[in-house]
Structure 1
Amino acid sequence: MSLPDGSRRGRASRLWLVPAVLALLLLGGFAFFTGQSRGRPDLPPLPTDGVAVLTGGPQRVETGMRLLAEGKARWLIISGVSPVADLEDLARTAGLPPEALASRTTLGHAATSTRGNGKEIAHWAQSRQIRSLRVVTAAFHMPRALLELRRTLPGVLLIPHPVQTEGPRLALLAREYLKLIGAMFGLSALSPEKPPS
């Protein structure tokens, strides 16, 4: 039995609603995400047990080291550091004496992705019984960083400390937004990572 023409047309028009609603949700989510990409840290920063820096852009390492040097945390991890970088180089770039930071700073060399950062930071935080953690990364990267860290550190208070807040390019924001959606659906688990040492 065939459907009347009017029913077929009504059904076809309803089928177009699904992609239209999905597109509106994605665009609305992107607009919200773009607003978050200009987030700024709370000032003055409250002390936390630790500071975690996710490398990959300017201002991140310097900000984390300054927070440690100013007594805003007891411990610092810089996750995703190049295997050839050492604390002395990083401290010199930040304009700080490495001796004052050495005993309280860990350089994580294992992570090669945001998911890897989450695992590396969790391993470090659990070994120090950290209950509160200030997270330093670019503002546009913060939502995905917090998502991955919440998966690995469910009982730890995470306080965002965004840097690089001056409006990144639209193409970069779009790529990061798509990565965030992928991470929400667990697709970040598909990229292999070295285990933390």
Structure 2
Amino acid sequence: MSDDEGMPRKALRTRRRVSFRRRLLRLTFYVLLLVAGIYAGGFLYFADSVASLQPPANPKADAIVVLTGGFQRIDQAVELLKTGAGRRLLISGVNPSTTGGQIRRNTQSSADLFKCCVDIGHDAMDTIGNANETANWIRNNKYRSILVVTNNYHMPRSLLELRRANPDIEFTAYPVVNSDLKSANWLTNPMVWKTILSEYAKLTIASVREALGAHRASGLRTDGGE
């Protein structure tokens, strides 16, 4: 005779419920452990991928767009414009309080260059806004190919959003290399680790949203952020 056969029905039902809960908790733990492992592996792959990104040797496109976030990016984009990598430059996501004159002086560029060939975009509030602001600029100028300048760790998400907003446009990545990622012990630097982890989380969310075809905000001030 088994133990279950000698037990009252109520006690048997209680025992089975406890056993089921234990199995469910154990399964949940293993699933969470698997998800955490996949996420950690994906993070390390992402970090290695962006650390390996290099600018093209001979960049050339109809025009250039730089996504703001530091003058290192803008300096690089202006230099590309000067060398003829593109006919025109959009600086997307500039703070409304920052003028074109201030940017020109910080990049030590000529007034003639900014007057003829540089557009300042103040509408974008985030990366999605950058993509939509760039899309409007591309349509107005009828460009077909764009050189994208931003930090290497920001490049994958930038290209994802830009291609979603501009599916028929050819985008070429021109990453501004973060020297901290070249170091073999970058994981021991809390600031770098936090930046890369945050960007990976944002890319994951953007990728899931893209896969589901979910609605997204415009990221533009002119739309009230809706």
Which category describes the TM-score, using the shorter chain as reference length?
0.7 to 0.9
Q: Structure 1: how far apart are the matches of 2:70 and 2:50?
A: 14
Q: Which runs of 5+ in 1 are unaligned?
A: none
Residues 8 and 55 of structure 1: is their aligned pair in 2 closer, same or farther, counting only changes over 3 Å?
closer
Q: 2:55·2:175 contact (CA, 8 Å) conserved in 1?
A: no
- Residue 138 of structure 1 pairs with residue 151 of structure 2: yes
One of 65, 73, 94 as aligned partner of 1:60: 73
Report the count of equivalent residues: 196
**What is the Cα-based RMSD across aligned positions, in Å?**
2.6
Q: 2:67·2:73 contact (CA, 8 Å) conserved in 1?
A: yes
TM-score normalised by L of structure 1: 0.86
Q: Structure 1: how far apart are the matches of 2:219 and 2:131?
A: 13
- Residue 118 of structure 1 pairs with residue 165 of structure 2: no
1:175 is matched with 198
Residues 58 and 190 of structure 1: is their aligned pair in 2 closer, same or farther, counting only changes over 3 Å?
same
Secondary structure of the structure 1 residue equivalent to 2:156: helix
Overall identity of the aligned pairs, in %? 31
Q: 2:152·2:176 contact (CA, 8 Å) conserved in 1?
A: yes
2:103 is matched with 90
Q: 1:54·1:136 contact (CA, 8 Å) conserved in 2?
A: yes
2:3 is matched with none
Q: Structure 1: how far apart are the matches of 2:20 and 2:126?
A: 50
- Residue 184 of structure 1 pairs with residue 207 of structure 2: yes
Residues 191 and 52 of structure 1: is their aligned pair in 2 closer, same or farther, counting only changes over 3 Å?
closer
One of 67, 84, 91 as aligned partner of 1:71: 84
TM-score normalised by L of structure 2: 0.76
Q: Which has the higher contact order (CA 8 A, sep 6+)?
A: 1
Greater strand fraction, Structure 1 or Structure 2: 1
